[in-house]
Structure 1
């Protein structure tokens, strides 16, 4: 139900009551959107669905009734097991056509993965039931020539259970970087340089074809310079680097530090 927050502690006395009457508390909004308050707080922190207003004194969140459709869209995309990074790209699309294209690209990846899993499951059933020799005869290997492509890539050693989330996040970063390289020039893909399973971590390489080779080289060199500066600082500071480096993103708190455990 709609609530008026005029007169609540911490709200300006000059607040427009007409606007406030359109706001829903997080509990009422969660009920309409069929999401939990915990999920709404997570989506706020990730930038997927920001509240219309946050009370500065209490940290309590308020949403507009018009945001219900966006909240339900996020919930439906989660039912497709879409990683949050790719949901953000769908939600942030400039229009419905682009959002639909990004959803279609994700679902193509899902169907490709499921097709491979279906084939593997069939092979394993045959192997476990003693019909392995029959299964081997059903596999055909074709070799095809494809045109040369300019790629920007991101590699990582990753286990199978981490793979879907990493692919979505890595391709999201690369597709964003493609804008600096003349735009994407083909379908993104993932190359596996070794087996990726629950016991083997690849590595895997996320790849996005781009149009401008010179810009792509400049982009790659820029990343290399940043990494080189990090290693240089480490050497100058007397800190040895015993293993692979990590990249860490700092996320600004979106709620008052002293009240971060409030229910709103």
Structure 2
């Protein structure tokens, strides 16, 4: 048996860390003296302790470390690989955010946007609303639009371009809500479908609403530009244009997905970033866009 001091030296963990890991059930001593509370460890616990120390160097949370060390070798290796993939993805996003902040503070523009105006007619839309954080959007948006497009089959089919409206900020700290919307042709059928979907026994939250006729100010972006935080500059470009024209925003901003996302390349235009606006007077030319809303 090894004293806590000897075990700390062999495992490269401090006695303080060993006491913490004992309390968390992550690295329990082989024996604890009932009178003095002194901890003793077996030599064969050294390898587990060293693994814990290595995983902590990856900034892996202790709860996840407990899961990893409880797994057999191959599964534990896969778990570490999955964790590190997530770390690299988050780091890549932070790198882009840092670049966006740097460009913003320096007044530098990495992309110039052409803001256009289009008038859209009144339309009935099936919707699914959810409080969602920004890192959840890439999974939620396609799943929600797919559910709504399938539901549209019972409502006369899809009659317009799907979009996602935002009723409040969606960020790592703010969860909206966001609303996935699919225009449908048969209002009566859509009302019946939405009413059935709202029953507690279905577990669905589909609703029907009428999107009013309105005028949209928008910019078109590529698939690569849809990624966060690049997409933020597109939203800001439209907002700045609206303010410069002396206009006001009259409804929730939106992302309008007019292209086949899966078939598009990174450089293909797939999405319009749009804001409903009030009277525009002689600004722009209504209808100069081929797809929106």
Same fold (TM over 0.5): no
Superposition TM-score tier, normalisation by shorter sequence: 0.3 to 0.5
Structure with higher strand content: 2
| Structure having the larger proportion of residues in helix | 1
For the pair shown, the structure with the greater C-alpha radius of gyration is 2
TM-score norm. by structure 2 comes to: 0.41
Identify which of structures 1 and 2 has the higher relative contact order when contacts are C-alpha pairs closer than 8 Å and 6+ apart.
2
| TM-score between the two structures when normalised by the length of structure 1 | 0.45
